[in-house]
Amino acid sequence: MFAPIEIAGMVCPNNVFLAPLAGYTNYPFRKLCSSLGAGLTFTEMVSCKGLAYGGAETKKLLFCGEETPKAAQIFGNDPDIMRAACEGEDLAPFDLIDVNMGCPMPKIVRNGEGSALMENFPLAEKVIAACAKSGKRVSVKFRIGISEDRKIAAEFARLCAGAGACMITVHGRVREKIYAGAPDYAEIAAAKNAVSIPVIANGGVWSKKDAETMLSRTGADGVMIARAALYRPQVFTEFSGIAPAPMKDLFLAQLRETRALYGERFACVFMRKMAAFYVKGKAGATEAKRRLFQAQTTEEVESLAALIF
């Protein structure tokens, strides 16, 4: 059930992936999850228009190391700009480029990007085909539909495969549900049965047991873990068998690498957020979070970590 997977010649050590998470899956966090056993990790979603305009902050999202395989996620709705991004030097280090067609956030949808493309089949097909023409491996992440009264997972899966995608990831909720409710196993299964390319199932996977249920109910080729990794990146060890270091050591290594890459202020704010996730459910979590969000330097965050974990 949990085993290496090949995607258009790219071999991943297992079929349990870290999802792209806007605002969170920067390089140090991806590196942490890989070290714990994630079979493939994705950058947070990157604007192709931002890359076209040479935005420094956009480019910063694509920082990566020498590890392989690795994947980047992009979004946009202009086929020419999307293809140029795939052919550009910023995405050159990545083994797989994932096209976001599932983001439900209003700011993205209003621009005709993310899950808005599920309402425009002709444009979605052009975007995927243009990206595939770059010669890069291209995958697509999408939802099972826009609303409960129109679920289109199988239909959209066929569109993606026909346009040149070598893998799809299906989030088992409709756009209007955002992240609420249980995933629709039947719709993910319909997408799996509609195509011959690998299908990764996403939504509601918080543990190995959840992943086993997802795979048995859908027939998918793998699972993608999202929010569970923010609270407990050690979730990947349930599949890999890797013995993790103590959480304090993992946290401090992440903090130091984040500071080295992105600077003091970013690291302080970001690692306060991460620590708040990591302490959820622990005794004294409320007080720990109160003290964390008063911290003004990474040294203060580091000192608190010694007490929290």
Residues catalogued as catalytic: 103
Cα separation, 299 vs 304, in Å, equals: 9
Q: In 10 A of CB 128, how many CB atoms?
A: 25
- The single-letter code of the amino acid at 225 is I
Q: In 10 A of CB 118, how many CB atoms?
A: 24
Q: What DSSP state is assigned to residue 242?
A: -
Cα separation, 14 vs 22, in Å, equals: 23
Q: What are phi and psi of 247, to 5 degrees?
A: -55, -35
Task: Give the closest residue to 242 by CA, choosing from 16, 90, 19.
Answer: 16
Whether 70 and 94 have beta carbons less than 8 Å apart is answered as: yes
- The single-letter code of the amino acid at 51 is L
Cα separation, 76 vs 59, in Å, equals: 15
Burial (CB count <10 Å: 0-12, 13-18, 19+), residue 52: middle
Beta bridge partners of 166: none
Cα separation, 33 vs 39, in Å, equals: 9
Whether 199 and 170 have beta carbons less than 8 Å apart is answered as: yes
Cα separation, 44 vs 61, in Å, equals: 7
